Amino acid sequence: MATPLSMHVMAAIIWVGGMFLAYWVLRPAMESLDLPTKVRLWVAILERFFSWIWVIVFLQPATGYWMIVHELGGFKNAGTHIIIMQIMGWTMIILFIWVYLVPFGKMKKMIKEELYPEAGMYMLKIRRIVLINLTLGSIVSTLAAVGPFL
Ligand code: HEM
């Protein structure tokens, strides 16, 4: 059925595309802002983006496993590219949950207390993880598409 695959691919586009925009477009564009404005703006952006990602981290495995069971006829028929996608997918999901609960939570707390340099430190941590997830997401999506031809 086309619906689970469409939802799966849309989720990948939103997740990977959103991280690309954040890392390669918004980050350099906001470089000249003063620190308090920058960290506040990042929280406003990430709060909205992360709400979408919470939906995606449920949708992506759910549609993925649905396709494995109902379309591929189980794990025995899943190619190596799907096994790799699964491992990398779960790594991305765990990293996202950690970023949301730990550095992002602490960044918001620091901003409330007006400790902007500390908030900036957590922002750097988030940036590093976003780069890792952006790299993994780009590899996974490419591998998913070219995997059947390898
Ligand atoms: C978390 C566990 C995941 C599972 C179990 C899973 C499973 C699958 C399966 C079964 C397919 C269909 C493959 C086929 O019919 O040949 C697929 C396609 C795809 N997956 Fe995943 N996936 C997961 C995570 C991800 C993640 C995290 C991304 C990217 C952010 C991703 C991106 C894609 C893309 C772009 C396709 C479409 C490939 C194409 O047909 O061109 N997947 N996935």
For 30-79, the pLDDT digits (tens) are 999 999 999 999 999 999 999 999 999 999 999 999 999 999 999 888 88
By alpha-carbon position, which residue is closest to atom 43 of ligand 1? 64
By alpha-carbon position, which residue is closest to atom 9 of ligand 1? 64
3-state secondary structure at position 134: helix
77 CA from centroid of ligand 1 (Å): 14
Query: Measured between alpha carbons, how far is 26 from 5 in angstroms, rounded to an integer?
Result: 30
Give the other-Cβ count within 10 Å of 79's Cβ: 12
3-state secondary structure at position 30: coil
pTM more than 0.85: yes
List the chain domain ranges.
2-145
Q: Which amino acid is located at 53 in the chain? A: I
**Two tokens at 144?**
């998913």
pLDDT-derived band at 147 (thresholds 50, 70, 90) equals confident
Query: Measured between alpha carbons, how far is 65 from 28 in angstroms, rounded to an integer?
Result: 37
Please work out whether the CB of residue 18 comes within 6 Å of at least one atom of ligand 1: no
Span 88-111, pLDDT tens digits: 999 999 999 999 999 999 999 999
Query: Measured between alpha carbons, how far is 105 from 8 in angstroms, rounded to an integer?
Result: 28
Ligand 1 pocket, mutate which of 3, 58, 60, 80 (most atoms under 8 A from CB): 60
Give the other-Cβ count within 10 Å of 98's Cβ: 13
Phi, psi of 66 (to 5 degrees): -60, -45
Least confident of 20-24, 37-41, 80-84, 145-149: 145-149
Distance of CA 101 to the CA centre of its chain: 14
Query: Measured between alpha carbons, how far is 54 from 141 in angstroms, rounded to an integer?
Result: 19
